[in-house]
Structure 1
Amino acid sequence: MTIKMSAIALLSVAALSVGANARDQIKIVGSSTVYPFTSYVAEEFKATTGNPTPVVESTGTGGGMKIFCSGNGLDTPDFTNASRPMKASEFKICAENGVTDITGMMVGFDGIAVAQSKTNGAISLTKEHLFLALAEEVPSKDGKSLIKNPYKTWNEIDAKLPNRKITVYGPPATSGTRDSFDEMVMEAASKKLDAYGDKKGKYKAIRQDGVFVPAGENDNLIVQKLTKDTSAFGIFGYSFLEENGDKINGADVDGVAPTSENISSGKYPISRSLYIYAKNSHRGQVKGMDEFLKLYVDAKMIGQKGVLKTIGLVPMTEDELKKVQAAVLAKTKLTEAMVNKHTILP
């Protein structure tokens, strides 16, 4: 009799435990760049389904991946936003912590804007200008060795640029925007400079003397800083430039303006894809996850005429969207091979 009662008691505890663990509110972390898009979908999800509004936190892409990959329990996030593809190292940490069934979704495209106060005139910068302004070490005048970055004003880098103090507010090291900037600007520019030796094409060390100011994961704060520190530049996602066009404008980079058309075509040299990753193990346990993804991937949301375009998202083509929709609805499992190819599609 005692054994039977114990078994019943254990089953009751297990049932209570399952009930206690089930959640009816979706939890999302990750990229500050993707944050406004996911937040919009979250509000629309609440309005159209009556479910609780998903909790969306702006932790940065790297920070979001760390939390997302920390475990598979329902005390961990269901989704993470990312302004770059998941890294192989992150995929490995996820797997080690039991997060082995993930589906990735491409949200659309974004450009990294180099913006300034509208009180300044139009300016055109190159990747090399940006690199020389921000690198911890730069080539000496003879180009044969590296020296600590001496540049204080833009015209010291190029006489055609204004005599204006170099101050750049940008993303911290945990940010996907920083990862993308490092790869597409810093490392790309260093490929052309022999002085970096075996670091050529890999150099991304940012100067630590106060010229570059890490401004946290809230890109709106950088916009606010530019309206006060009018000589400075800020680095953030294109959507924030689009939303604040009355206060700031974007510098041309390598002669190309940061516009929706130039980003979607790939002409703008600092363009990238945006993502959201889902734990398939939570789908079915957390109320509304499938419905949330179905809404997010809908053409009315992220398509060529989708509402997210109005707040700065650069949509993918119709063909690309159909492939993404199919992968998301089929719960396509992210594999190591897909991660290594920087894709969410098999």
Structure 2
Amino acid sequence: MSFKKTSMALIASALLVTTLSARDQIKIVGSSTVYPFSSSVAEEFGATSKFPTPVVESTGTGGGIKLFCAGADINTPDIANASRKMKANELKMCEENGVNDITEALIGFDGIAIAQSSQVKSFNVSKTQLALAVAKEVPSADGKSLVPNPYKKWSDIDASLPNREITVYGPPKSSGTRDSFEELVLQSTFEKMPVYTDLFKKDETANKKYKAYSEIRTDGAYVESGENDNLIVQKLTKNEAAIGIFGYSFLAENKDKVIGLSIDNVLPTVETIASAKYPVARSMYFYIKNQHSKDVPSLKEFTNLFMSEKMIGNDGILSELGLIPLTDDVRTQARNKVLNSQKLTAEDLKH
């Protein structure tokens, strides 16, 4: 081969390597609840920057973080959306797979709405009653042991509740909404009940699950309905006796179809979620793979847009979609973390 041909081959090879090791389009996976917020920023980014619109996939928080943590090579996602904080074991999984430079971005709050068809009279449910409706095991009649959940109707739990069958359309195990629901409703309720905690004290090894009980019933009353919250909305319009569990943003977007139940006499609204009066609210996040910043030149610009006042401010675009803004000082702290690419540590996940 001549010198000229050899040089051309080397140049072509170098160009191929460059093509494979860099890209303009951002890849985002994760939470179905954060999905509409992330998609809105992606559309804005595509319209106002020189880069293509990022690809956003709704995989659920757990599934998204698993994909995000699979490795640091360019074929893995750049961002993972999450409707809960990353877990310590997930950060460890990331680090074991070479993903060792991550920034956490807190974007705002969202409530977990308990909703039903707007064609049926709504009702109030206490957090305890809600926990008893969906738990796999509940206290026996004498309150001394746990038994498989016998409740078929809401009125079986309390005569003040409707005489309606308990049918709950909810997220699967891979969902951050499911994680948050288990923590905010089941665990926070049952950790105050001796019938659960006493079992843990008797045998810490065999009954460890009872320390923070969060097992959801599998007898058909709770129906896992995938990662698409819009699917739950559709199911509620067809089954007027059922209730559904999803992010407040989907309730706000579908007020003509569904209405929220009040929990402990508090309805899910922007005001009650922002003030923490609504008992089932949580924080929204996305996680950035800083190791991709060099090979995905649009990444820094996109994350800066996401954290801007234009998107997550008090009158930002995302507030129109149901995101509850952070307070000014907390929002500034969260933004500075992203601007400075602050590295996430295991210690950060304890707070």
Deviation at 1:70, TM superposition (A): 0.2
Out of 334, 337, 346, which is 2:344 matched to?
334
Q: How many residues align?
A: 339
Q: What is the letter of the counterpart of residue 272 of structure 2?
A: N
Q: What is the letter of the counterpart of residue 132 of structure 1?
A: L
Secondary structure (helix, strand or coil) at the match of 1:321 reads: helix
Secondary structure (helix, strand or coil) at the match of 1:129 reads: helix
Q: Is residue 318 of structure 1 aligned with residue 328 of structure 2?
A: yes
Secondary structure (helix, strand or coil) at the match of 1:72 reads: coil
Which residues of 2 match residues 139-288 of structure 1 at below 5 A? 139-196=139-196, 197-198=199-200, 199-288=209-298
Q: What is the letter of the counterpart of residue 189 of structure 2?
A: A
- Residue of structure 2 equivalent to 1:26: 26
* Contact persistence 2:116–2:122 (CA under 8 A): no
Determine the C-alpha separation between the residues in 1 that align with 2:225 and 2:54: 26
Determine the C-alpha separation between the residues in 2 that align with 1:340 and 1:319: 21
Q: Which runs of 5 or more residues in structure 2 are unaligned?
A: 201-208
Q: What is the letter of the counterpart of residue 218 of structure 1?
A: N
Q: What is the letter of the counterpart of residue 326 of structure 1?
A: N
Deviation at 1:340, TM superposition (A): 2.4
* Contact persistence 1:189–1:201 (CA under 8 A): no
Q: Which runs of 5 or more residues in structure 1 are unaligned?
A: 342-346
Which residues of 2 match residues 29-108 of structure 1 at below 5 A? 29-108=29-108
Determine the C-alpha separation between the residues in 1 that align with 2:54 and 2:8: 36
Secondary structure (helix, strand or coil) at the match of 2:172 reads: coil
Determine the C-alpha separation between the residues in 1 that align with 2:213 and 2:136: 9
Determine the C-alpha separation between the residues in 2 that align with 1:138 and 1:85: 28
Closer/same/farther in 2, CA of residues 227 and 331 from structure 1, 3 Å limit: same
Determine the C-alpha separation between the residues in 2 that align with 1:35 and 1:90: 20
Question: TM-score by structure 2 length?
Answer: 0.93
* Contact persistence 1:133–1:157 (CA under 8 A): yes
- Residue of structure 2 equivalent to 1:127: 127
Q: Is residue 117 of structure 1 aligned with residue 117 of structure 2?
A: yes
* Contact persistence 1:69–1:93 (CA under 8 A): yes
Mean alpha-carbon deviation: is it higher for 288-297 or for 172-181? 288-297
* Contact persistence 1:194–1:200 (CA under 8 A): no
Mean alpha-carbon deviation: is it higher for 130-139 or for 64-73? 130-139
Closer/same/farther in 2, CA of residues 30 and 140 from structure 1, 3 Å limit: same
Deviation at 1:192, TM superposition (A): 2.7
- Residue of structure 2 equivalent to 1:309: 319
Determine the C-alpha separation between the residues in 1 that align with 2:282 and 2:30: 16
Determine the C-alpha separation between the residues in 2 that align with 1:78 and 1:274: 17
Determine the C-alpha separation between the residues in 2 that align with 1:81 and 1:184: 20
Out of 297, 304, 316, which is 1:294 matched to?
304
Deviation at 1:201, TM superposition (A): 4.8
